[in-house]
Amino acid sequence: MSNHDDAILDEAGRWRSRDLAVLWHPCTQMREHPDVLPLLPVARGEGAWLVGHDGSRTLDAVSSWWTNLHGHAEPRIADAIARQARTLEQVILAGCSHPPAVELAERLLEIAPREPGRDPLAKVFYADNGSAGIEVALKMAFHWFRNRDDEPRRTKFVALQNGYHGETIGALSVSDIPLYRRIYAPLLMQAIFAPSPDAYLARDGQGAAGCAEDAADALAHLLDEHAGEICALVLEPLVQCAGGMRMHHPAYLRRVRELCDVHGIFLIADEIAVGFGRTGTMFACEQAPAEARVGGKGGVQPDLLCLSKGLTGGFLPLAAVLATQTIYDGFLDDSRERAFLHSHSYTGNPLACAAALASLAIFASDDVLARNRATASTMQALAAPIGRIGHVADVRQTGMIVAFELARDGDRRRPFDPSARIGLRAYRAALARGVLLRPLGDVLYWMPPYCIDEAQLGLLADATADAIVEATT
Ligand SMILES: Cc1ncc(COP(=O)(O)O)c(C=O)c1O
């Protein structure tokens, strides 16, 4: 090995040790770095690749925590941010206005799900990240009822079992992943959890539709029980991502919409992970079947829609909460206390809004949704043979998300003992093959940047198959 090669390798090593000397990484038992859990130093990004200091390439199969849409360092988004940085980098949004915030709100309201005959989403409130967006939606729903003198008892939220909405105290209160939640339980507000429509839980012969129907019936029962106490229901439409990429039948969304209407509660759709084309349509809510009474085009429209992650194409943190006119009007009053006084310093940051506008322009110019349809069918073809590997209990797909659930002998009633750390073993095996998978427990999944090409998908499929075999034998 030449001195030059040594120097490059040393550079990666140097970054690793400088990092571990000063950084506390998210969602990580730091004791596992670097021996159990390798640390990947990244020098730059390029399309679907993460490039190391030695030029080695690792495929980002998880879109960097589901944020990246069009590829890393996408030049059109990078240029838009640079232009905006030279024009206006930040301004207080209370009392001031700027073009990127206005234009982005206009664009989001144009593309948001809309149901005929329903009060449309009409206003946009910005926050800084997904969890903050959820906090905004919860507080808005609660405060709206507080502002009405006739319904003081509506203080509760309904969420779904196995759902996930973020890590801040409010968002964690409506999340149901024990690993993240249990320790903080004494701090959390009490939410009501309804059974998940998760199709993986279907009984033999029941199918996804039957499972969704049962979950909706159970929800109906729960809402009856708590009539007059609930202000909103929050869910992740079509895919419970952090809960193991568990997927459900879209008919569930229609039933939920109807039940929320019957009980006069707000439907909060958390499309933070699934929005912007992940599930095959721009928003997952669009895939719900048409309402029997209205007919025509499908899709449900929530009362509050939470967006983040891919909103900026994965470049900058930003969240947007879209609300109906009715919700907005409920805060108009002579009293300041009846106003929504929530704020974050960087609300509506111009750089983040400019990135989001550039990302949305790419959807139009590159016909991203059509390209995704082709990519999704390639993913389906590549995933099918992996489903035949021993210990793969389920292969499921919704649009650009594919998941492989591992269980002993492929029997979903016999999950692996968590102490076997099958997911961690698969992570290491895939990383050694140049692919960044980040399994959720024993669920391996693909959620790649939309620019991923056929050769990269081939690498992804091979690495996944090898990783499953290596981790389970
Ligand atoms: C569905 C969903 N909601 C909310 C969040 C929280 O977003 P953030 O991590 O930006 O706070 C996440 C994060 O993974 C998510 O998947």
The 3-class SS string of 446-459 reads: ECCCCCCCHHHHHH
Q: Residue 385 Cα, ligand 1 centroid: separation in angstroms?
A: 31
* 411 strand-pairing partners: none
Atom of ligand 1 nearest to the CA of 166: 6
**Residue 133 φ then ψ, to 5°:** -65, -40
Give me the residue label for tokens 């029962």.
221
Atom of ligand 1 nearest to the CA of 132: 11
Cα separation, 451 vs 458, whole angstroms: 14
Q: Is 437 exposed, middle or buried (0-12, 13-18, 19+ CB in 10 A)?
A: buried
The region that residue 318 occupies, defined by phi over 0 for left and psi between -120 and 50 for alpha, beta otherwise, is beta
Cα separation, 171 vs 111, whole angstroms: 26
Cα separation, 310 vs 271, whole angstroms: 10
Q: Residue 306 Cα, ligand 1 centroid: separation in angstroms?
A: 10
* Ligand 1, pocket-test mutation among 236, 309, 318, most atoms within 8 A of CB: 309
* Ligand 1, pocket-test mutation among 131, 196, 279, 447, most atoms within 8 A of CB: 131
Note whether 177 and 242 are within 8 A (CB). Answer: yes
- The residues near 192 (Cβ < 8 Å, ≥ 6 apart) are 156, 157, 158, 159, 222, 226, 230
Q: Give the C-alpha distances (Å, rounded to integers) separating 351 from 131, 184, 312, 356.
A: 20, 34, 10, 9
Protein residue closest via CA to atom 9 of ligand 1: 130
Protein residue closest via CA to atom 3 of ligand 1: 165
Q: Mutual orientation of helices 368-386 and 454-472 as an angle, nearest 10°?
A: 30
Atom of ligand 1 nearest to the CA of 309: 10
Q: Residue 335 Cα, ligand 1 centroid: separation in angstroms?
A: 33
Helix or strand (DSSP H, E) at 46: strand 44-46
> In this predicted structure, what is the pLDDT of residue 297?
65
Q: Residue 109 Cα, ligand 1 centroid: separation in angstroms?
A: 21
Cα separation, 22 vs 322, whole angstroms: 38
pLDDT tens, per residue, the chain with 473 residues: 566 666 666 898 999 999 999 999 999 999 999 999 999 999 999 999 999 999 999 999 999 999 999 999 999 999 999 999 999 999 999 999 999 999 999 999 999 999 999 999 999 999 999 999 999 999 999 999 999 988 878 999 999 999 999 999 999 999 999 999 999 999 999 999 999 999 999 988 899 999 999 999 999 999 999 999 999 999 999 999 999 999 999 999 999 999 999 999 999 999 999 999 999 999 999 999 987 555 556 899 999 999 999 999 999 999 999 999 999 999 999 999 999 999 999 999 999 999 999 999 999 999 999 999 999 999 999 999 999 999 999 999 999 999 999 999 999 999 999 999 999 999 999 999 999 999 999 999 999 999 999 999 999 999 999 999 999 99
Cα separation, 461 vs 383, whole angstroms: 7
Protein residue closest via CA to atom 16 of ligand 1: 273
Protein residue closest via CA to atom 7 of ligand 1: 130
Protein residue closest via CA to atom 8 of ligand 1: 130
* Ligand 1, pocket-test mutation among 62, 66, 164, most atoms within 8 A of CB: 164
Q: Residue 212 Cα, ligand 1 centroid: separation in angstroms?
A: 23
Q: Residue 467 Cα, ligand 1 centroid: separation in angstroms?
A: 27
Atom of ligand 1 nearest to the CA of 319: 10
Cα separation, 151 vs 273, whole angstroms: 33
DSSP state of 420: G
Ordered strands of the 392-398 beta sheet:
392-398, 401-406, 443-446
Q: Mutual orientation of helices 454-472 and 422-432 as an angle, nearest 10°?
A: 140
Q: Residue 373 Cα, ligand 1 centroid: separation in angstroms?
A: 25
Please list every protein residue whose CB sits less than 6 Å from any atom of ligand 1.
129-131, 134, 164-166, 236, 241-242, 270, 272-273, 308
Q: Residue 90 Cα, ligand 1 centroid: separation in angstroms?
A: 24
Atom of ligand 1 nearest to the CA of 65: 14
Within 10 A of 202 (CB to CB), how many other CB atoms are there? 19
Q: Give the C-alpha distances (Å, rounded to integers) separating 267 from 31, 117, 217, 358.
A: 41, 16, 17, 29
Closest-CA residue to 412 (of 198, 197, 175): 198
Q: Residue 352 Cα, ligand 1 centroid: separation in angstroms?
A: 17
Atom of ligand 1 nearest to the CA of 317: 10
Cα separation, 304 vs 127, whole angstroms: 14
- The residues near 81 (Cβ < 8 Å, ≥ 6 apart) are 315, 316, 351, 354, 355, 358
Q: Residue 130 Cα, ligand 1 centroid: separation in angstroms?
A: 5
Protein residue closest via CA to atom 4 of ligand 1: 165
Atom of ligand 1 nearest to the CA of 66: 14
Q: What domains can be seen in the chain, in order of their start residue? A: 40-73+368-472 (3.90.1150.10), 81-366 (3.40.640.10)
- Judge if the upstream peptide bond of residue 34 is cis by omega within 30 degrees of 0: yes
Q: Residue 440 Cα, ligand 1 centroid: separation in angstroms?
A: 14
Query: What DSSP letter does each residue of 433-444 carry, written as one string?
Result: TTEE---BTTEE
Identity at 42, one-letter amino acid code: V
Give me the residue label for tokens 């003992």.
417
Quick one: CA torsion of 473, 38, 51, 315, rounded to 10 degrees?
Answer: 110
* Ligand 1, pocket-test mutation among 308, 344, 398, 401, most atoms within 8 A of CB: 308
Protein residue closest via CA to atom 13 of ligand 1: 166
Protein residue closest via CA to atom 10 of ligand 1: 130
**Residue 139 φ then ψ, to 5°:** -65, -40
